[in-house]
Amino acid sequence: MGQLNAGIVPVTPFQQNCTILFDADDKTGVVVDPGGDVQQILAAIEGNGIKITAIWLTHGHIDHAGGAMELKDALGVDIIGPHEADRPLLDNLESQAQRFGLPGEVRNCVPDRFLTEGETVSFGDHSFEVLHCPGHAPGHVVYYNRDAKFAHVGDVLFHGSIGRTDLPGGDHAALIRSIKEKLLPLGDDIGFICGHGPGGRFGEERRNNPFLV
């Protein structure tokens, strides 16, 4: 098994971190949150010779899921996640796109498989535990790789901030519970990539994130 690598392609006017997780040796991998700019994502995949086996979604917001169906058609792979509680968001991506004035092709998304707490998803030898972390969105999931001490946290937690909770289905108390009861207990040494801006480590967020102290 090769090392777990991650490449980031910023997509959409929201500069969302579309993330390509892949094995450094055999170059199999997945795309997490293809929110848009699908041609750029495809160029990154082809440019690095990565064999994509699935699309994983953290939640149903436009900047994370808006390009999922177009990318699925281009790659011929399944869309996996998020939790089914985000189905109403995924059913309304086209209206989200209109509301935010987003250009390009956005299609409502029908995942091939929704996820629930405690399931495992994988590519190659890399396994990720699924943590259901509502608050920013009702069906938000986090992908946690115990061996690599790595988590993709989407819009739950940011470096020095947390996800907004003023969108439909947002719940501030639930978001804080998700972070404090599910993410931080995984350990201070867990590195994370998030949906916007730089990632970090849970320990630094536990000590210094003004929304958590």
Q: Closest CB to Zn ion among 8 and 148?
A: 8
Query: Based on CB atoms, which residue is closest to Zn ion, 51 or 172?
Result: 172
Q: Does 138 bind Zn ion (CB under 5 A)?
A: no
Tokens of 189: 């040494």
What is the rounded CA–CA span in Å between residue 77 and residue 154? 21
Q: Which two tokens stand for residue 192?
A: 């994370």
CB nearer to Zn ion: pick between 130 and 157: 157
Q: How far is the CB of 175 from Zn ion (least distance, A)?
A: 11
Residue nearest Zn ion by beta-carbon distance: 61
Q: Does 61 bind Zn ion (CB under 5 A)?
A: yes
Query: Which part of the chain contacts Zn ion (CB under 5 A), choosing from 4-12, 42-50, 59-67, 70-78?
Result: 59-67
Under a CB-based contact definition with an 8 Å cutoff, are residues 207 and 189 in contact?
A: no
- Binding of residue 60 to Zn ion (CB under 5 A): no
Q: Residue 86 gets which letter from DSSP? A: G
- 155 touching Zn ion, by CB under 5 A: yes
42, two tokens: 């495809």
Per CB under 5 A, 33 contacts Zn ion: no
Whose Cβ is closer to Zn ion: residue 146's or residue 164's?
Answer: 164
From 42-50, 105-113, 149-157, 178-186, span contacting Zn ion (CB under 5 A): 149-157
The DSSP bridge pattern shows strands 51-56 and 161-162 to be unpaired
Peptide linkage before 82 cis (omega within 30 of 0): yes
Query: How many residues can be counted in the chain?
Result: 213
Which position among 67, 111, 195, 200 is part of the footprint of Zn ion (CB under 5 A)?
195
* Residue 23 near Zn ion by CB under 5 A: no
Residue 83 touching Zn ion (CB under 5 A): no
Token pair, residue 56, equals 């994983």
Q: Report the DSSP pairing between strands 78-80 and 120-123.
A: unpaired
Question: Among 19, 16, 113, 115, which residue's Cα sits nearest to residue 66?
Answer: 16
Instruction: By CB under 5 A, name the binding residues for Zn ion.
Output: 61, 63, 155, 195
